[in-house]
Structure 1
Amino acid sequence: MNLGLENKVALITGGSKGIGFQTAMDLSREGASVAIVARNQDALNEAKEQIRQETGKEVLAISADVSKESECKRIVEETVAHFGKLHILVNNAGTAAANSFEDVDGEAWQKDLDLKLGGTIHTSRYAIPHMKEQGGGSIVNLAAVVAKTPPANSLPSSVSRSAGLALTQAMSKDLGKHNIRVNAVCIGLIRSDQIEKMWQNKRPDLTWDEFSAETGKGIPLGRIGDTHEASNVITFLVSDAASYVTGTSVNIDGGSGNAL
C-alpha cells in the first residue's frame, strides 16, 4: 500500500524516545522529512543520528519545552523555515503523572495541563496555517486509555488526556473544511523507558518476553505492546490511506480498555 508520505513534512513532539521516536523512524522510512522535538538535546542528537543512519533521511532536532506557548510557536517556525512546509503534526509530548485527587496540588495540575493540553493546543494553532497553505494536513493527538474511563489514582494525567479527546473532536469539526484531519490514539501498556526500568528493578531474572507476559496477564492479548505497534497506527492515521478518517480515537492497548 502506498501511504503517500513521500516528500511530506512531519513535526513530532516528544520525538527523541519511545513512541515519538519510533513514529519519526517509520515516517522517515516512508519518505517523509521529520522534525523531532524534546527537551534533552543529547537524546535528540542520538535519535537524529539513528534515524539518519537507518533511513538516509535528513532529520531536524529541536530542543524545546512545549508547555510554553512561545516554544510551540518556535518549533513550528523552525520546522517550516528548514523544510519550507508542514503537513503532519504528532502531539506526543507528555509524562506519566498518576496520583489520587487529594495528592495532586495546584502546581501539579497546572504543570500537567500546560504540557499535555496546552502543548497540543498551541502547537496545533501555529501549525494549522501552514497546513492550510498545503491544501490540508493531518494531526494526531496522543492520549491514553484512561482518558475514556479514568480509574482511581490516575490524576492529573487522565483528566488532561480526556480534555485532549474533547479537543480532538472539536478540532476535527472545525478543520474538516480545510482538509485537515484530526485524530487521537489512546495508548495502553507500551514498552518504554519506564517499563524497562520496572523490569530491571523488579524482575531482572526474567527475559523480556517472560516479564511482558507476566505483567500483561490482565490484557486480552496477554502482553505489553511494543512502540512499533503504536507507531504503525499513527503512521496510518497521518497518511493518505486514512484520508476519510477524522474525529476518531483508536485504542492501542491490547484490548485492555473498557470503552470503544
Structure 2
Amino acid sequence: MSFVSRRCTTFKTFLHKPTLHKPVAIRFFSSPVYHQRPRVNNNQLILPSQIPQRKMSSTQKKDNKIFTRDNLFDLKGKVALVTGGGSGIGLMATQALAANGAKVYITGRTKDKLDTVVSTYNKDIPGSIHALPADVGNKEGVRKLFDDYSKHEDCLCILVNNAGISSAHFQTESESAAEMKEHLFDAKKSTFEDWNNTYNTNVTGVYFTTLAFLPLLEKSSEKHQGWSSTVINISSISGLIKSAQHHFAYNVSKGAAIHLNRLLAAEIAANKLKIRVNSIAPGVFPSEMTTEGSDKHQKSHIPTEKYKEKVPAGRPGKDEDMASTVLFFAVNQYLNGQTVAVDGGYTLAAGQ
C-alpha cells in the first residue's frame, strides 16, 4: 500500500455521520425563538436561515385591542351613584362616568340643581344622567336614598361619596397664646355644632352611605364577570397637609375621611367581599366650596392667576384632571385601599 493510500485510509477513519442537534430555545423578551445549528442532509449543508421557524401560538400573541381606551375605560352596562353630583367635583365625576357609558344617578338636597344638570348634560353621551334628590347627612336620609335607588336598579357598580361641606374660617396667625385663644376659642362662630355638622357630613355620611349600599355593590361584582364594584371617596389634600388652612374642623374631618377609607377597605377585604374602596384627595378645583357659587350650568370658575404661584402646576385643577382620575379609580381592578392626591403638586409645596 502506498503512502498516499495509507494516508487516505487513516483519514477515512475520522469521518462520522453528521449528528443532528435538537433545537435550542433562545428567549428574546417574552417569545421563544427557536434556533438550529447548521446540519448536513444528503451531503448538502442546510443553513439556519433555511430551516422553517416554529410559529408562535395564539396564546403567545398579545391582543392590542385590550389596551385601547375603548376597552380600558368602557363603562357601558355599569350603574353609578354620585352623592353631591349637582356641582363641582361631583358633577365632574358624573360627566366622566356618563360620557363613557355609565348610567349615573346624582343626589343632592337641592332638586333644582340636579334637574339643571340632567337637562344640560344628559345629551349626546353613550350613558345617561338621572336625578335622585336625597340628604345623606342623616341615617334616615341614607335609608330613603337606598330605598329610592332600589326601585330603579338591582345592583350598584360605582359609588362616589362626594357630598361634603366646609367649616367656619378663623384667623390662626397669632402673636401670643391669649391671642390664639381669642381667635379660635372665643369667637362666636367657634362652636361644637360647627365641628359636629362638618364631621357629620364629611365622615359619618360617607360611612353610613357605603354600608347601606354594600349588598348592591356585592351584587354588581357577582353580575359582571371580571369586574369588582368600587367605592370612590372624595376626600381632600386638606386631610394630608400640616397646615390648618384657617379651618381646623374641615381639615380634621378630611383627615378622618382618609383614615375611614383605609378602614372600610380593610374590613371589606377581610370579609372577602369583592368591593374596592379608594379615595381621591383633590387639591384646588373649581366648586361651590372654593368659589362663590356656580353659574347657570352648575359650573364654578377659579382665575388661573390666583394659584399661579401657589401651585407648582401654575393653575387650579381642570374638569379633565378630575375626570381622568375618576375613570382610573372606577376601572382599575387592582387598586384598593389607596388615597391619591390630585393637586398639581400642592402638597409638595405645602408639606405633609
Task: Show the 5 A alignment for 1:38-187.
Answer: 38-55=108-125, 57-100=127-170, 101-102=184-185, 103=187, 104-135=190-221, 136-152=228-244, 153-176=246-269, 177-187=272-282
Distance 2:98 2:287 in 1: 21
Distance 1:94 1:187 in 2: 13
Q: Structure 1 residue 163: deviation in Å?
A: 0.8
1:191 to 262, 286, 299: 286
Q: What residue in structure 2 maps to residue 234 of structure 1? A: 326
Distance 1:71 1:228 in 2: 31
SS in 2 for 1:156: helix
Distance 1:58 1:32 in 2: 7
SS in 1 for 2:336: coil
**Stretches of structure 2 lacking an aligned partner (at least 5 in a row):** 1-68, 171-183, 222-227, 294-300
Contact 1:116 1:160 in 2 (8 A): yes
Distance 2:107 2:242 in 1: 28
Moved more, 11-20 or 187-196: 187-196
Amino acid at match of 2:265: S
**Higher RCO (Cα < 8 Å, 6 or more apart):** 1
Amino acid at match of 2:239: A
Contact 1:72 1:122 in 2 (8 A): yes
The structure with more radius of gyration? 2
TM-score by length of 1: 0.88
TM-score by length of 2: 0.66
Moved more, 36-45 or 227-236: 227-236
SS in 1 for 2:316: coil
Q: What whole-Å deviation, never above 9, does each CA across 1:171-201 have from its counterpart, x for those lacking one?
A: 1112232121111011111122454549xxx
Amino acid at match of 2:341: N
Q: Structure 1 residue 96: deviation in Å?
A: 2.2
Q: What residue in structure 2 maps to residue 212 of structure 1? A: 304
Amino acid at match of 2:334: Y
Q: What residue in structure 2 maps to residue 203 of structure 1? A: none
Contact 2:165 2:289 in 1 (8 A): no
Identity %: 25
SS in 2 for 1:93: coil
Q: What whole-Å deviation, never above 9, does each CA across 1:93-142 have from its counterpart, x for those lacking one?
A: 01222534535311111111111111101110111111112224100111
Contact 1:19 1:228 in 2 (8 A): no
Q: What residue in structure 1 maps to residue 338 of structure 2? A: 248
Distance 1:227 1:69 in 2: 31
SS in 2 for 1:232: helix
Q: What residue in structure 2 maps to residue 18 of structure 1? A: 88
Amino acid at match of 2:257: G
**Stretches of structure 1 lacking an aligned partner (at least 5 in a row):** 199-207
Contact 1:99 1:156 in 2 (8 A): no
SS in 2 for 1:12: strand
Distance 1:194 1:122 in 2: 23
Q: Structure 1 residue 80: deviation in Å?
A: 2.7
SS in 2 for 1:120: helix
